[in-house]
Chains A and B, each alone.
Chain A
Amino acid sequence: MSLRPVLQSGKFVVTSEVGPPKGTNLEHVIEESKLLGPMVDGINVTDIQAAAMRLGSMATCHLIKDIGCEPVLQMVCRDRNRLALQSDLLSAWVLGIENVLCLTGDHPTLGDHKGAKPVYDLDSVHLLKVAKGLNEGHDMMGNELEGKPDFCLGAVVTPGGNPLDMQIMKLEKKVEAGAEFIQTQAVYDVNLFADFMDKVSHIQVPILAGIVLLKSAGMARYMNNNVAGVTVPDELIKRMAAAGEADKAAKAEGKKGGNQVAVSVEIAAELINGFKPLCRGIHLMPLGWGHHVPKVLKAAGL
């Protein structure tokens, strides 16, 4: 079952994310997916995230579908031209993948193969329009397809983008092009998100608020310095830092820590409860902390 009926049902939608490994050992991804699958409505599988070469999203989506998860294929415009993008969409459909999140894709210079040729033959708006065209039974040149997919298409937006108007203009184009749901970049400020939701009240498709689990104060500071459009407020950094100190002290005494995990879970649950009245769901990005997601959902009462 694709995400579409869930999105249309009006329930509060929860999606999460797994990242394929660099290599062929899928043990961790399968384990995480088995754990999360029954608790969430969909699991995004990233597409060569951060431009660091790794196992593909399509194969991973197919494998987690086989164990009962509802995969959301992330597809970026960085690595494939229009022929390969369309062909891969058709391939994904025959492998049982029914949801696609269309993204621009991080630039190769941010990854581990900095000399890779950036493709960007299509942009994310084009990709949505092209995928919608495939759903309608034709390729982007208007040639008729023999058998067609029926993807539920998603897009992204950065609520902390500056200027926000510029982000919203692109979001409007994405919805016009065929996006049926929106997952946002990570947000750590309920007021900022409320302001964003106010400005996109004319957008009719479900918006799922993005949450990246904080692992440490250092990670939060790193995101503030390096991830455009993401700001972790000082107050949250302080809480993570205090938990980090407590973990360090516990470790010195030979005791089990767990304070950072506990505070991270607490923060995520607070954010979820803050976002819940404002939007149609949340999208969790645990970045390897998938095994802590059940605690987050429990703490948030989901």
Chain B
Amino acid sequence: MTISEPKSLEEILGTIEGQDKLFLVGCSDCATVVQVGGEDQLKEMAAKLAEHGKTVTGMLVAEPGCHLLGLRKEFRAHRQEIDAADAMLIMSCGTGAQTAAQATDKPVHAATNTLFLGCVERFGQFREYCSACGNCTLEQTGYICSVTRCSKGLQNGPCGGTTAEGKCEINPETDCGWLLIYNKLKEQGNLDALKSYAAPKEALVHPGQRTLSREGKEE
């Protein structure tokens, strides 16, 4: 799941200065779960914008906002409302904002900052698990990612920064990823997995903008 947080209203108002009529775009997937771009947040945004003298010409919770062909189709269904707007405010994620920019000729503005790929641990609580490094080594680390859960992304064990409480020295709220890995492997009787040398990862598995073509699997 893509985890985003809202930009401040002040920043948003700055980006839409001079554009008084807006079409709001949310997303039915991640942005709805993360509560930045679901139906409720779109309505709240419309009310706030109205307080600042803006008019919302319409709104759409895209299903989802990162599907280029689908979004074009949804935009066509809302053509009149979009035509009436000066710009679109995209309340999903960075991919959603750019997908929307591809799907319309109207100016678009992002209303969120996208943070990470995460897991929904419980309602409203999200945690980063995967860094999409393209070199998965979870098999060696007890299914706790050393790239993501270690603050330094170390591959061969911890640095000296594990606190007495088992946290990372950079943040008392953050668990030491390597301690989690160590404890998990110990529990599984597999500490030997830590003894083997882990070679440096390749930074770019697919150099340039990351793309994937699954031949025969596309629409």
Write the chain A residue with the least CB distance to B195. A169
| B177 CB → nearest A CB, Å | 12
**Structural contact, A173 and B156, CB atoms closer than 8 A:** yes
Return the CB mask of A66-98 against B: 1 if under 8 Å, else 0. Answer: 000000000001100110000000000000000
**Structural contact, A163 and B182, CB atoms closer than 8 A:** yes
**Structural contact, B164 and A82, CB atoms closer than 8 A:** no
Question: Which of B151, B153, B155, B160 interacts with A158 by CB under 8 Å?
Answer: B160
A252 proximity list for chain B (CB < 8 A): none
| B128 CB → nearest A CB, Å | 15
Question: Which of A122, A177, A228 interacts with B160 by CB under 8 Å?
Answer: A228
Is there a chain B Cβ closer than 8 Å to A266's Cβ? no
**Structural contact, A110 and B157, CB atoms closer than 8 A:** no
Is there a chain A Cβ closer than 8 Å to B203's Cβ? yes
Write the chain A residue with the least CB distance to B194. A169
**Structural contact, A172 and B195, CB atoms closer than 8 A:** yes
**Structural contact, A107 and B152, CB atoms closer than 8 A:** yes
Is there a chain A Cβ closer than 8 Å to B179's Cβ? yes
**Structural contact, B200 and A104, CB atoms closer than 8 A:** no
B163 proximity list for chain A (CB < 8 A): 228
B159 proximity list for chain A (CB < 8 A): 104, 124
B23 proximity list for chain A (CB < 8 A): none
A126 proximity list for chain B (CB < 8 A): 155-156, 199-200
**Structural contact, B178 and A166, CB atoms closer than 8 A:** yes
Q: What band does the interface of chain B fall in when counting residues whose beta carbon is under 8 Å from A?
A: 20 to 34
Are A166 and B182 CB-contacts (below 8 A) given A82-B200, A229-B160?
Answer: yes
Are A123 and B156 CB-contacts (below 8 A) given A107-B170, A176-B197, A177-B197?
Answer: yes
**Structural contact, B164 and A162, CB atoms closer than 8 A:** yes
Is there a chain B Cβ closer than 8 Å to A161's Cβ? yes
B179 proximity list for chain A (CB < 8 A): 163, 166
Is there a chain A Cβ closer than 8 Å to B98's Cβ? no
Is there a chain B Cβ closer than 8 Å to A109's Cβ? yes
Question: Which of A120, A140, A173 interacts with B197 by CB under 8 Å?
Answer: A173
Question: Which of B153, B158, B161, B199 interacts with A120 by CB under 8 Å?
Answer: B153
**Structural contact, A125 and B160, CB atoms closer than 8 A:** no
**Structural contact, A166 and B200, CB atoms closer than 8 A:** no
**Structural contact, B160 and A169, CB atoms closer than 8 A:** no
**Taking each of B155, B161, B163, B179, which has the highest tally of chain A beta carbons within 10 Å of its own beta carbon?**
B161
Write the chain A residue with the least CB distance to B182. A166
B199 proximity list for chain A (CB < 8 A): 126
Is there a chain B Cβ closer than 8 Å to A199's Cβ? no
Are A121 and B169 CB-contacts (below 8 A) given A166-B178, A169-B157?
Answer: no
A166 proximity list for chain B (CB < 8 A): 157-158, 162, 178-179, 182, 194
**Taking each of B160, B166, B170, which has the highest tally of chain A beta carbons within 10 Å of its own beta carbon?**
B160
**Structural contact, A125 and B197, CB atoms closer than 8 A:** yes
Question: Which of A107, A172, A177, A185 interacts with B151 by CB under 8 Å?
Answer: A107
| A211 CB → nearest B CB, Å | 16
CA distance A106 to B163 in the complex (A): 14
Is there a chain A Cβ closer than 8 Å to B154's Cβ? yes
Chain A residues 166-217 with CB under 8 Å of chain B are 166-167, 169-170, 172-173, 176-177, 185
Is there a chain B Cβ closer than 8 Å to A156's Cβ? yes
User: 6 closest Cβ contacts across the A-B interface?
Assistant: A170-B157, A158-B160, A125-B156, A104-B159, A228-B169, A123-B154
Sampled A-B contacts (12; CB under 8 Å) = A104-B160, A107-B170, A120-B154, A121-B203, A129-B197, A163-B182, A167-B157, A169-B195, A170-B156, A177-B197, A227-B169, A228-B169
